[in-house]
Structure 1
Amino acid sequence: MRKLSRRGFLGGIGVGAGVLAAQPAKAFGVINEIFDDAPAAAAPSAVTFGRIFGIPAFAPASSAVVAALSDIGKAGGLLDAKDDLSQGPAASILDPTLSPNHHDNPRMTAGFHFLGQLIDHDLTFDLTSTLGVPAVPEQTRNQRTPALDLDNVYGGGPQASPKLYDPADPAKFLVQSGGQFEDVPREADGTAIIADPRNDENMMISGLHVAILKFHNNVVDALRAQGVRDVFNAAHRTVLWHYQWIILHEYLPANIGQDMTTAVLSNGLLYFDPYRTPFMPIEFSAAAFRFGHAQIRPSYRANLKGDNGSPFFGFIFDPAGEGQADPVDLRGGFRAPRRFIGWQTFFDFGDGQVKQNKLIKTAVSTPLFQLPLSAIATHDQPVSLMARDMLRMLTWSLPSGQRLAEFMGDPVIDAGHFPELAKYGLGLDANTPPLYYILREADLVNGGTHLGPVGGRIIGETIIGLMLVDPGAFLSSNPNWTPTLPSATPGTFTMVDLLKFAKVDPASRGQ
């Protein structure tokens, strides 16, 4: 083993009196261990993926390892929570005994997974790599910008992406009716007219996309009333900064913990270096940020009155929905009067209707092991989401969770905590695929309520790091900024505030 000095970087940000304040630039003398069998170094770019760590892969991409990972991620495999779906989607919510291996998270409501999905779709999109076949991140194009700029919603703006905008008022998005309430614009066959097709994978992410469209349009109206002339660009910045505020002050503390969020803000970036070239780390996109798949419930109450005056319950995906014009499940891609989201199920409006996310652990809701092909961006096999996740870590030759923890100086979860992986005879219990490790770490360290040190550090440094170097982010250009739009608590802004300003909150829609 040989050691090389890691390239330094400049930048840091502190927290004082509850307000972010810029700090003088400082260099961190971090040592990066580069092993002889580590992936070859290459230069990432803003249009490709890249690596944070020069650490070798947890396992070779052999046929035996591919078979083991496929087995771990298959329906009925180690990651399947084995929920009892026989009683239907409503019972799945109301009767916790039907999910004995996967309990609700008391600290986080159901909508935060879908906010995380929107963030993921904002930052990363790989259309070219093959699952389980090694690829070079620095030679693989990322279809999204490594910035929290909502390019998955805005596309190239009114000039470059005119189909996304209202031809009668190009400063605003085109929004159509879904029957009772708003929907994304759609072609005659139901295909969504949006910048990223993944934002129509399920009703919840599609509904969140609509909320951003309406949020922007209402900001345009508010700015026009103030006499603002360059209204599109002013509205775009206003939307982005409030969205980024929610990520920094609500999403990250809930998912990585307030202590980790504060540590990254106060002490700077110890591992991720976006200062020379912002890029999307493969450790984030292919492993750590996929923790959100463990948060998904088997079923949701989409709304309170959409199903002939009764609540519309559905499994997130259900094979019975194949071929239906108005599927029984909550897949995206369809327009019907009941296919809208009542957000009081997903975020806390104070009316007692909200439901919770699932705990973060190595147990994932059973419907996710049989996805419809329409919910897979590349429309290919396997249809198990977790089999895809496991194989993707081979694609990018990612290091094991143990090697990551050791490198970061965090407590290492040893092989004794992964006895179920020993049966494969491949050493996966001691060199555990990083996503599997991160899920187990969250469970062991924090009871699954939020991520542990390895997962939390990778996610915190990536998201905050990109906000620090992006000139369009409030954290880099105006770190003392506070929200300007009306909110329940002045000086802050939450997802509930966003939904209310977008006028998709339950009270304004009569749901």
Structure 2
Amino acid sequence: MPPVNRSHVMSAVLATVVGCSTIASVTPFTASAADTLFLKSPRTPSRADDSFIRMFPGLPPFAAATDEMRDKAKKVGEAGGILDAMDLLTDPVQSITNPAVFSPNNPDNPNMTAGMTFLGQFIDHDLTLDPKSPLLQNADPRRTTNFRTAAFDLDSLYGQGPQDSPELYDRSSGDIKLRVDVLPGAEAVSRKGATRYDLPRDASNNAVIGDSRNDENVIISQFHVAMLRFHNAVIDNLRAKPELAKASPDRVFQMAQRLVQWHYQWIVLHEFLPITIGQGRVDDILRRGTTFYNGDDARFRNLRGNPQIPVEFSVAAYRFGHSQARPSYRLNFGPDGGNPFFVFIFEDSNDPNDPDPADLRGGKRAARRFVDWQTFFNFGDGNVRPNKRIDAKLSTPLMHLLGMRGPAPGMPQDGVQSLASRNLMRHVNFGLPSGQAIARVMGVQVLTPAQLTELQPYSMDRSTPLWYYILKEAQVLESGLRMGPVGARIVGEVFIGLLRADRSTYLSVDRNWKPTLPSATPGDFKVTDLLRLAGVVPPL
């Protein structure tokens, strides 16, 4: 299973689905490359019914699926247009330390830290992958294959398991651990003395992991590293128990995998989802059940009984995180603890063959290409930076995606560089309903044409593409602090619906289960606890 080199693509920060990253993703590559890369995913789709579905099949498309409409959608998302935050500066530091002056279209979200964008992207890559749907023609969800399992099972981490994906595993200790490399040159120390790690790579620097999208940028790459080390730490934690000291490697692996999956699911349900849609909405769905998406309903399952992902989620709602990406980040405090590495998400002027470019592109290995997570999640040391609010603006670098200019091997020849344009064109292709139509079905507040006046020249102020509508309702109705009623209901119901439909999740097996691994708060488990246990941040 040779990995595909995708270092020219930065769709990553895109966070969230299919985009999360994929139907969503802009991550482009050829169909043959996709077939090769994802051939060994767990429960890899071998039949056409591992596809996407519609959550609101009775609603008409927001607009006619024509080339004229695709061109109009493209124009709405173009660089310099209404979605462009105009925030690409010459100094990556100022856009972080003084955003009100240097990046006014990137207002801080005081309720969410910068790392949540990339956690959201990792979750996306665990749920969806559509590498084949074309951008310039119409598409049918049921004829569009999802190459990921529609489950919070970490198939992007474990591949097809130790037997069928042996390249992902390290048995040198006798136990079944996941492969991790030490970052060269770093004997890798930060000012706190923490060893720095990298994804396992082949001779061409291709990451040897279950989903190559998790090497799209340094931050998602390093989060995947943390997950690899988290599994390995759980193995060690289990081996330290006297009753498991002589247990077989297979038994310990299975126990560790279940613990990793359940603690990850806990973070999704008790940390990521409440911050994203609001605790009250999470509680309401858990208490009353889902109304519009039920993973147990035959309408939302394929012939083998597996849940399927709605395009309203993958193409629209879960791409909310695209609006949260900033133009630059403080990646770390410096390999020697002296010079923090502030970096743009990507710089188109950088040489793609540079082994250590001054941007966040993935597929590289160098001493400074690691993350100090204290910037991205709150460890109480004053270093954390906030996320951007959810609104109808995307950072300018996302209007100029690397590799989209062509002609690069494996890149689409559609010439559309803007992520916003690509998102909106897919709304036309898949015939997604308008945000207003879904809001009416849900019985929630509907945005008025006056609140969408910037779309009037495109005749979209009364029938608005769902993704744009969801960004704007978060901005108007929630001050950008969390998703609005339509986006929150779609994301919340799909997350909880999938957790309930999978008979192996803690929510299905034992809804009263509480985390058991070491944490700052016994009975709870957060991303910060995971990162500490993984050994990628200093211990308490």
Which of 62, 82, 87 lines up with 1:83 in the alignment?
87
Instruction: Say if 1:69 and 1:390, in contact at 8 Å, map to a contact too.
Output: yes
Counterparts in 2 of 1:158 and 1:46: CA distance versus 1, 3 Å:
farther
| Alignment pair present for 1:281 and 2:296 | no
> Which stretch shows the higher mean deviation, 411-420 or 476-485?
411-420
CA RMSD of the aligned region, Å? 1.9
The 3 A distance-change label for structure 1 pair 263 and 330 is same
The 2-side partners of 1:388 and 1:378 are apart by 17
Matched residue of 1:300: which SS? strand
Secondary structure of 2:94 counterpart:
helix
Distance 1:452 1:465 in 2: 19
Residue 182 of structure 2: aligned partner: 177
Q: 1:188 aligns with which of 191, 203, 212?
A: 203
Q: Supply the AA of the counterpart residue of 1:143.
A: F
Change (3 A) 1:378 1:364: farther
Q: CA deviation at 1:140?
A: 1.4
Question: Where do residues 65-80 of structure 1 align in structure 2 (5 Å cutoff)?
Answer: 65-80=69-84
- Which AA in structure 2 matches 1:233? Q
Amino acid at match of 1:429: D
Q: Contact 2:404–2:416 (CA<8 Å) still a contact in 1?
A: no
Matches within 5 A, 1:194-205: 194-205=209-220
Structure 2, unpaired ranges of 5+? 1-46, 187-195, 302-306
Matches within 5 A, 1:432-451: 432-451=464-483
Partner of residue 142 from structure 2, selected from 138, 141, 152: 138
The 1:75–1:147 alpha-carbon spacing in structure 2 relative to 1, beyond 3 Å, is same
Distance 1:45 1:283 in 2: 19
Q: What amino acid sits opposite 2:429 in the alignment?
A: T
Corresponding residue to 2:489 among 457, 471, 475: 457
d(CA) in 2 for partners of 1:45, 1:136: 12
1:260-271 aligned within 5 A: 260-271=281-292
Distance 1:301 1:287 in 2: 29
Alpha-carbon shift at residue 61 of structure 1 (Å): 2.1
Mean CA deviation greater in 370-379 or 178-187? 370-379
Deviation of 1:84 (Å): 4.3
TM-score (norm 1): 0.87
* Aligned counterpart in structure 2 of residue 125 of structure 1, from 114, 129, 137: 129
Give 1:408 shift.
0.6
Higher RCO, 1 vs 2 (CA within 8 Å, ≥6 residues apart):
2
Say whether residues 1:499 and 2:502 are aligned partners: no
Match of 2:116 in 1: 112
Matched, 1:241 2:262: yes
Tell me if the contact between 1:104 and 1:357 (Cα under 8 Å) persists in the aligned partners. yes
Cα deviation for residue 377 of structure 1 reads: 12
Percent of aligned pairs with the same residue? Answer: 49
Which letter maps to 2:128?
Answer: T
Higher strand share: 1
Of the candidates 396, 415, 424, which is equivalent to residue 366 of structure 1?
Answer: 396
Secondary structure class of the residue paired with 2:93: helix
- Tell me the CA shift for residue 64 of structure 1: 2.0
Listed one character per residue, the Cα deviations across residues 177-213 of structure 1 (whole Å, up to 9, x for unaligned) are 2222110011111111111111011111000000000
2:24 aligns with none
Deviation at 1:102, TM superposition (A): 2.0
C-alpha distance 407-307 of structure 1, shift in aligned 2 (>3 A): farther
Match of 2:419 among 378, 385, 390: 385
| Count, aligned residues | 462
1:337 aligned to 2:367? yes
Q: CA deviation at 1:273?
A: 2.3
From the superposition, tell whether residues 77 and 185 of structure 1 become closer, same or farther in structure 2 (CA, over 3 Å). Answer: same
Q: SS in structure 2 opposite 1:485? A: coil
Equivalent residues in 2 for 1:197-236 (5 A)? Answer: 197-226=212-241, 227=244, 228-229=247-248, 230-236=251-257
Counterpart CA distance in 2 for 1:351 and 1:377 is 44
Per-residue CA distance 1:296-315 (angstroms, 9 max, x = gap): 11110000122783111101
Q: Which residue of 2 aligns with 1:417?
A: 451
User: Greater CA deviation, 346-355 or 173-182?
Assistant: 173-182
Q: How high is the TM-score relative to the length of structure 2?
A: 0.83
Q: CA deviation at 1:45?
A: 8.2
Q: Which runs of 4+ in 1 moved over 4 A?
A: 374-378
Secondary structure of the corresponding residue to residue 186 of structure 1: coil
Q: In structure 2, what is the Cα distance between the partners aligned to 1:234 and 1:95?
A: 47
Of 147, 164, 168, which aligns to 1:160?
A: 164
